Structure 1
Amino acid sequence: MTDLAEPLSAICHELGALVTEAFDSHIAARLSDDDLLAALAALARLRRQTDALLAELAAQVDERADAAPHAERITTVHGCRSVSELVQRVTLVSRRTAGELLRAGRGIAQDTAPTTGTALDASYPAMRTAAADGVVGIDALLAVIDTLDRAECEGPERRSADDELAIAARGADEGAQPCAEELRLQASVWAMYLDPDGAEPREARALRKRGLTLGACRDGLVPLRGSLLPEVAGQLRRVFDSLLSPKVTASATGPAFVESETVSTDDADARSRVQKQHDALATALTVAARSGELPTIGGSAPTLVVSVRADDLAQDRGYAHLDDCDEPMALSVARQVACTGAVQRVSVDERGRILSIGIADRVFAAHQRKAIALRDGGCVIPGCSVPSAWCEIHHVEEAERGGPTHTDNGVLLCWFHHRTIDTGGWKVRMNRGVPEIRGPSWWDSSARWHPATKSPTRLLDRRDARRPA
């Protein structure tokens, strides 16, 4: 065979006609369960085979780029800075997918001997054959290649692992083919067995490769990428567990009593697990920043700086802006930050000259926080289990509108409910110094105000008050 593009184009044409017919006829909805799964399995096998060929071709592009002088490289000729960029542009995949194709290709490609021109053995010849047969796709290939490469095993040891994992991938042991994650687990067992240096060198490599990066803000979100050491990840999981466990309640230190007419709050929180973990991390960072134990920056504690025009905030329009972030933020960000910190007013003239600087401190003092924590016992929103030490104090009447930094105007809210107090359906008011909650219609269709506390002592007082003399 001297050409691949023409027969592949013919296959694409036939497959395109099949896909168009399937879409137009809505055949998927009419298939029986067995036929549906059979079609899914057949298409997955086709994808695995095309994945294998894509990896082989990507590896060839990589080899040619390395072998030629810079001016004659296939990347330079086609105006790309790297092999990854060229693969992205030709295949229209993401940078991540292009990287996966290249890594898989390097593992299964057969290099050419520079002197004789003959094909050399691939790094993982058994997995190469399994990929060509449509047994494994890119994800399964990388489950094996990445895991064994990290073990830094060579020669007969890697060949043995390659052979055994390829046999396992075909389902020869028990008859059932493992998925990519199961194959990764088997490869990790081989890696531990073959690693010649034991656990300590792995620890040294882990320390060397640990890291955390924040990407650029896009569409209001900042991507977080990195690798944590196991003990750091374990501590983070403990933080998540402490805030997210359904068994944790703000009144866990004692009995809790509720009003007889209080409705169930089982469905009060519609956040997904990953959203809750994000909010738990935000809570932990907020607590750490206000702890006073972090190093200072320019003589001050680590402080989040949000800027907003006073007119925009007063008229509830426009955007807020965060330091080191090019994207505009919602005004709710400015309100939440202003509610829990100091506000610095900077007056400028029409040319931008600073005329005056004023500072209004809205931070509740330590003794005020302790008193409010005693009164509220935790986030006052029903169904929320965030304890008082992890909560922020919300000015019920905004300081912008004359609300004082006083215990009669402060209430405990977790980071999430503080951020969404204007949009989440919950309302908070103070009734002679006591917080009251009004929930969404699904929580209480009567839209009544309910006294709110999770303090064990106050709940005991409320119980005693209801008892007959």
Structure 2
Amino acid sequence: MSETFLPELPQEMWRAGKLELAHGVLQSLRVIRVATAGLGRFLAEVESRGAKDLFGHGSTASWLAEMAGLSRGEAGVVVKRAIALNPTRNLDGTEAPAVAPETAAVAAEGLVGDERIDQILEILKRLPADTSVEDRAVAEKILADLAPNAGPHQLAKAEAKLLGWLDPDGNEPKEPEPKEPRRELTLERRRDGFWKLTGLLDDETGVRTAAALEAYAQPRPVDEFGQADLRMKCERLGDAWAELLDLAIACPDQPGTSGYRTLVHVTIGLNELKSGLGTACLDFVGTMTAREARLAACDCLMLPVVLSAAGEPLDVGRLRRFVTPGQRRALNIRDGGCAFPGCHRKPKNCHAHHIEHWVDGGPTDLRNLVLLCGFHHRLIHHGDWEVRMAADGLPEFIPPQYRDPLRHPRRNTLHHR
């Protein structure tokens, strides 16, 4: 083993000049590399004699892990490198030559570190299987001579040249196996009643999701009253997600929904049901206001469970189809989209709203139905706007007094110019 010693450290490191610092780093690296090469020779000898016979361990790696305080995986990497660089002995006592003896010689001089050694060993693994022993030795010699003054990119280029020399025709091309897409999604209900959605999408699905959300997350245009869309982008994306869910659930081939927006189990008191005030239990896991229950009932399948003041179930309703596919098609043709004045939303983005709510005896026919997008549906249920059916059979909207003191009826003329 060549003798290399660390330079004497100055008592006050800050006094060292830049040349002295650089020299100290280089010398320290060389000492570490020389010592690592020496350690490899010891480990190769332990492997040859057998760690079980010498120390009672099942493998050299497990023994080194205990000796050095390493994990089994960390020790395995060191032992594997040592065996590749140094000759060992087979069970019958014959010598097993090193995989990379030229690299070992360079490593023993402290001229190359573990990273370049591992890269050379990987390159040797990738050489064609029919490469002769002589050609393999030449290739390893070229890499070993290059390694002390080369970085990873230079060695990678040398590998490409070696493969071109040893296998000019290359491997027979074959169709790559398609990768299984990786998609993950978790949905959990928080204590505050909100739901937390997290996920991981492959690149293709992520691009498609982003494109779909962006298409529905565009700010609403300024309406005829000059009101702009003040939602933040994250809010617009959340609303876009809700609209995409509505579109998916409304598909006739959607399993479990048959083209209807959702199935809602609502447990609500009789007084709350009539007045629209108070709360209701939604699907036995959460709560919603009575007004929200009325909104959801416009375009859903509902199973109402009506309770008396004492909490006694008075009636368990049956599933009722509120808007038939034929009625929905007629609504799409009549309204052409959201009927609220100034709204551009198309029919596929709209709900069917009962002008006179079904709880109040409103019938499910075209003269009592109007298409509204999600935003304006909530506005009608929770705001001061009103909607009614005019004498000509078309819906019209009555603005609140703070918008129009005379409350002149308004219509959407964008869909039927």
Change (3 A) 1:384 1:234: farther
Change (3 A) 1:157 1:453: farther
Q: Which among 302, 314, 318 is matched to residue 278 of structure 2?
A: 318
Per-residue CA shift, 1:122-145, capped at 9, x if unaligned?
xxxxxxxxxxxxxxxxxxxxxxxx
Residue number in structure 1 paired with 2:300: 341
Q: How does 1:382-461 map to 2 (within 5 A)?
A: 382-432=341-391, 433-439=393-399, 444=404, 446-456=406-416, 459=417
1:435 and 1:283 map into 2 onto residues whose CA distance is: 23
Residue number in structure 2 paired with 1:31: none
Change (3 A) 1:423 1:346: closer
Aligned partners of 2:305 and 2:316 also within 8 Å: yes
Q: How does 1:21-420 map to 2 (within 5 A)?
A: 115=67, 155=115, 203-204=179-180, 207-208=181-182, 210-245=183-218, 264-265=224-225, 267-296=227-256, 303-323=263-283, 325-326=285-286, 328-346=287-305, 357-359=316-318, 361=320, 363-420=322-379
SS at match of 2:397: strand
Per-residue CA shift, 1:382-416, capped at 9, x if unaligned?
34332112210100111111211111111111123
Letter in 2 for 1:215: E
User: Shift in Å at residue 445 of structure 1?
Assistant: 5.9
Residue number in structure 2 paired with 1:4: none
User: Shift in Å at residue 330 of structure 1?
Assistant: 2.1
1:230 and 1:313 map into 2 onto residues whose CA distance is: 47
**Structure 1 stretches lacking a partner, 5+ long:** 1-112, 119-153, 160-189, 194-199, 250-262, 460-469
1:361 and 1:157 map into 2 onto residues whose CA distance is: 74
- Structure whose residues are more often helix by fraction: 1
1:360 and 1:243 map into 2 onto residues whose CA distance is: 31
SS at match of 2:242: helix
Per-residue CA shift, 1:348-403, capped at 9, x if unaligned?
78998867544373522222222222222211233433211221010011111121
User: Shift in Å at residue 283 of structure 1?
Assistant: 1.9
1:318 and 1:412 map into 2 onto residues whose CA distance is: 27
2:386 and 2:404 map into 1 onto residues whose CA distance is: 12
Aligned partners of 2:301 and 2:320 also within 8 Å: yes
1:421 and 1:390 map into 2 onto residues whose CA distance is: 16
Q: Provide TM-score, normalisation by structure 2.
A: 0.51
User: Shift in Å at residue 446 of structure 1?
Assistant: 5.0
Aligned positions, number: 257
2:115 and 2:406 map into 1 onto residues whose CA distance is: 74
2:219 and 2:284 map into 1 onto residues whose CA distance is: 36
Aligned partners of 2:276 and 2:294 also within 8 Å: no
* Structural RMSD (CA): 4.3
Change (3 A) 1:238 1:347: same
Residue number in structure 2 paired with 1:5: none
2:390 and 2:397 map into 1 onto residues whose CA distance is: 10
Letter in 2 for 1:223: K
1:430 and 1:156 map into 2 onto residues whose CA distance is: 80
1:216 and 1:157 map into 2 onto residues whose CA distance is: 52
1:275 and 1:313 map into 2 onto residues whose CA distance is: 30
- Structure whose residues are more often strand by fraction: 2
Identity among equivalent pairs (%)? 31
1:155 and 1:330 map into 2 onto residues whose CA distance is: 64
2:402 and 2:206 map into 1 onto residues whose CA distance is: 37
Aligned partners of 2:396 and 2:410 also within 8 Å: yes
Per-residue CA shift, 1:280-326, capped at 9, x if unaligned?
2212212322322122389x996233332232222333212222634
Letter in 1 for 2:274: A
SS at match of 2:338: coil
Aligned partners of 1:269 and 1:383 also within 8 Å: no
Change (3 A) 1:354 1:439: closer
| Highest RCO, 1 vs 2 (Cα 8 Å, sep ≥ 6) | 1
1:320 and 1:349 map into 2 onto residues whose CA distance is: 13
Change (3 A) 1:436 1:389: same
Q: Which has the larger radius of gyration?
A: 2
**Structure 2 stretches lacking a partner, 5+ long:** 1-64, 71-113, 120-152, 157-175
Letter in 1 for 2:216: L
Letter in 2 for 1:430: M
> Which moved further from structure 2: 333-342 or 422-431?
422-431
Aligned partners of 1:306 and 1:337 also within 8 Å: no
Change (3 A) 1:337 1:439: same
